[in-house]
Structure 1
């Protein structure tokens, strides 16, 4: 089972820069061990405010208890709060892995679908089928990397595009776009991201 973990670190007052560097060094080494064991799949940095220290991590674990064991063993956990979001595969998730592009920016897109009450069933069926076809095309074009369902209902997509405008055009091309409330989050590379290191 996969989990998206938002990891927010706040270093207490009085901790020296040398102590922070030492813990961060151990964190990087431990992240490599977790990646080798198949427990840490990806790491990203979201947009940050000055002084903010936050990371998105994609983890693999049998269940929430096993994930907690993994997270509690990470050196930065002494200063960190973790928010865990269980993920399940979306029916339109790409069948084959989408290669990462070194030049592109990755984005999360959160989709909340609201079908109008007066939408004809035939139109709903047509757009749903078109959505599945279009996501396959976008995966083949190297734009859609992964697609999940979040535990709280909305879908979560991992995309890559050359610019925000390209991503906007991609998302607007989805047949269900008129019924989607979409939030996008640009991601920047994390130095310990095993996905980028393997690419």
Structure 2
């Protein structure tokens, strides 16, 4: 068991095989199509993205001041860069799969342009919020975190300014996640 659960890639492969077995077992009574597969992937990547957003905002950032200086390097040198890798790619894949769901179901343009009614405009609102959040991840949080963590060379002044910039964008994403999640779960579109 330790060999299985000590290997994340193996756990994910076994999980994928288990999911495919369930999909196969219920394929005769449940529709398996591009929509259902995209929704499944959208949920997975969304949970990963927002889970890491909440980890950073509820755990890592508030805890960093209490960590002794000689131990901070473990977080800034190893944990944060790895978490930020999954964070930014989960953001991108959440957006891509979400847009795919809207396209497959025929409401992408209507939702994005707010030319529908009710639930379509609600999901459009959630989509635009998610796009702003993903923009923040890739174009504000990540570039500033690279400076703050010393991944890229920068001046001491730029490094000092980068952390607060990344934190503000991350907190904005935390704020935006609440209305975005409401939009996503309440629209109930095919």
Q: When the two structures are superposed, what TM-score results if normalisation uses the length of structure 1?
A: 0.25
Larger relative helix fraction:
2
Query: Which protein has greater RCO, CA pairs closer than 8 Å, 6+ apart?
Result: 1
